[in-house]
Chain A
Amino acid sequence: MEVDREFKIVTLGEGRVGKTSLAMRYVRGQFNEKEQSTTNANFLEKNIRINETSIKLNIWDTAGQERFRALAPNYYREAKGALLVYDITDKESFWKVVSWVEELKMQADKDISFVIAGNKCDLELDRQIPKEQAIAYAKQIGAAHYSTSAKSGMGVNECFEEIAKLILDKESRSGSPIRSSKARSRVIVKNQEEVVKKKKSGGCC
């Protein structure tokens, strides 16, 4: 399989909002109620196709606690997209998203695309952040907003694919050349096999 584009994406947000779970659901199609807390960043990849373009997403899933922010630049450096996650049942976690946006605007790649995910939508009854408020904020910063649930799978594919689309749009507008590498695609095929194997054996990383 030939890969036309390769994008680095980073997940950011308060601890325990479900960053790892969203990434795992998206890449592996699995949900683990008891996901271990993240200290080192996790790294996941997934190949997708948007229109005629095949894309490899390299997803860096980071630790959420505030003080780990000191380490975050290692992971969001050169990222083209950021998935900013909050927990709809936790007001504070939404304000963390706002502060991440500020930091990324200052420190990250100037063309970085944002998508905001209001996660844990399966817990609608405990919602603390009105959806309208979140959508309005997203609009204001030029980001897309998705209601997601890593548990049910709702909105998960959509939010990640939206990031890919946004990056692709931005690049086609700015006219950057499309890079392709045969050497890379060979490796990717191998990785896909690995992923399939893992799925079959039910193993988790």
Chain B
Amino acid sequence: MERSKDQIIEDLNKHGLTKKNKPLITNLMLNGPPHKDRKLIWLETSGARLQMKTNPNYYSAIVEDKLKIKTEFSQQIDRDLHRTFPAESYFVEEKHLTSLRKILVAYSWRNPTVGYCQGLNFLVGRLLTVGFSEEECFWLLAQIIEAYLPNDYFSVMTGVIIDQQVFQVLLKNKLPKMAKHLSSIGIDASLYTVHWLVCMFAYTFPKNVVMRIWDIFFIEGSVFLFKIGLSLMWIFRKEITKITDFNEAFRFLEFQSQNIADPDIILGLAISMKSINSKTIDKLREKLRIQSQDETTCNDSVSTEDSAKSYTEICTDESECELKSKQECSYFTFRSTSGVSIIDEYINDSNVPKVVDLANTIDNDKNLVIGCKNHACPIKQSSSVIRGDIEEAYNGLRNDQNEIS
């Protein structure tokens, strides 16, 4: 197993991202790649490495020519340097702040339309802490801005406003009860999603979770940001729908994400969300863009194209499930496998739900398990039942791996 992992990485290193190795790399990313390989994989999947090869000395030349010139952007960057992850010791060291500055200033020269946008400091900051060189960070940043996100994201931020509306529509579709509840207390996605989108969750979650999110982001693209947002909302759906006070709800949305310590849960949910893909997002973006140009604000007519395939319905006895989940864990509880018996082996002793990839185990056909210890809700297969929430999250990881590529 280890050896084949190494072979995949070696193949990537030699040939770059190919049709053949992409599914393998994707697979590798689902459980988090070995940290030592992460850099190589991000550089390849994002296209940053290709940019570096095609444009040798590009970064060093900008740095040499432009770094000392004072511009509006360089001044804004200087103001933000010490305000980038100020609580992390890494960003106390002057040499790291110097690197951060060089990358951001260099980019402002590469792309004067964007120049510098607050939030990019957090993106680059996170990249630096992964261990990328300045040049690598520079090209990763360039790829994120130029290849991954709409072109008016960081310049005039229209793209961000549109994406906030996209998220609101998805929330309405996927978590209608919650969307209704939140709007009844006056909370719209535009209030709490700015940093999700602009910083790609860089400071929304603990660092280890951010790494894992970006692992998939570089493969799936910006659609994955929406999936993470929805998964986050889903995880806390019970808590959120109980809050009836605007202030309390907003604070909850702001800070609860920091409590997601185990990336497997949220990643598992997001990866399994099959009905949302890049096409869905692009269509929504286009539609909302036209709408906002027409100055109509009604999003109700927009809907995602869900195709209900096979869903696994879990708790047939809601009250029992609720009771058990109260006794055993404060999170959600569900499981999805073809057989119940196998689950217990994969649930660890903590009462935090775990996601386990069963792809390489005895039971091969269904492979996502999320649940908590001693919870034994009956499971049945259902082909058409949708109960409002992100039911497709229950589907297996395996199918999605094929779809991603």
Q: How far is the CB of A204 from chain B (nearest CB, A)?
A: 9
- Interface: B390 (CB within 8 A): no
**Can you report 23 residue pairs joining A to B where beta carbons are below 8 Å apart?**
A15-B76, A15-B79, A15-B80, A16-B79, A36-B84, A36-B87, A37-B80, A37-B83, A37-B84, A37-B121, A39-B122, A40-B192, A41-B194, A42-B254, A43-B251, A45-B247, A63-B194, A64-B118, A67-B156, A71-B161, A71-B190, A184-B245, A191-B247
- B83–A34 CB distance below 8 A: yes
- Interface: B250 (CB within 8 A): yes
- Interface: B203 (CB within 8 A): yes
A36 — which chain B residues lie within 8 A by C-beta?
83-87, 203
Interface size on A, residues (CB 8 A): 29
Apart from A36-B86, A38-B118, A39-B118, 5 more pairs, CB < 8 Å: A37-B79, A43-B254, A68-B157, A184-B245, A205-B255
Given known A-B contacts A35-B86, A36-B203, A41-B194, A67 and B117 have beta carbons under 8 A apart? yes
Given known A-B contacts A15-B79, A187-B245, A41 and B118 have beta carbons under 8 A apart? no
Identify the A interface with B (CB < 8 A).
15-16, 32, 34-43, 45, 58, 63-65, 67-68, 70-71, 74-75, 183-184, 187, 191, 205
- Interface: B182 (CB within 8 A): no
A205 — which chain B residues lie within 8 A by C-beta?
254-255
Q: How far is the CB of A97 from chain B (nearest CB, A)?
A: 17
Interface centre among B118, B154, B245, B254 (most CB of A within 10 A): B118
Separation of A64 and B79 alpha carbons in the complex (Å) = 11
Q: How far is the CB of A114 from chain B (nearest CB, A)?
A: 23
Interface size on B, residues (CB 8 A): 39
Question: In chain A, what residue has the closest Cβ to B122?
Answer: A39
Separation of A136 and B84 alpha carbons in the complex (Å) = 36
Separation of A68 and B199 alpha carbons in the complex (Å) = 13
- Interface: B50 (CB within 8 A): no
A58 — which chain B residues lie within 8 A by C-beta?
247
- Interface: B268 (CB within 8 A): no
- B83–A35 CB distance below 8 A: yes
Task: Name the interface residues of B75-97: CB closer than 8 Å to any CB of A.
Answer: 76, 79-80, 82-87
Separation of A205 and B156 alpha carbons in the complex (Å) = 29
- A187–B248 CB distance below 8 A: yes
B251 — which chain A residues lie within 8 A by C-beta?
43
A67 — which chain B residues lie within 8 A by C-beta?
117, 154-157
B195 — which chain A residues lie within 8 A by C-beta?
39-40
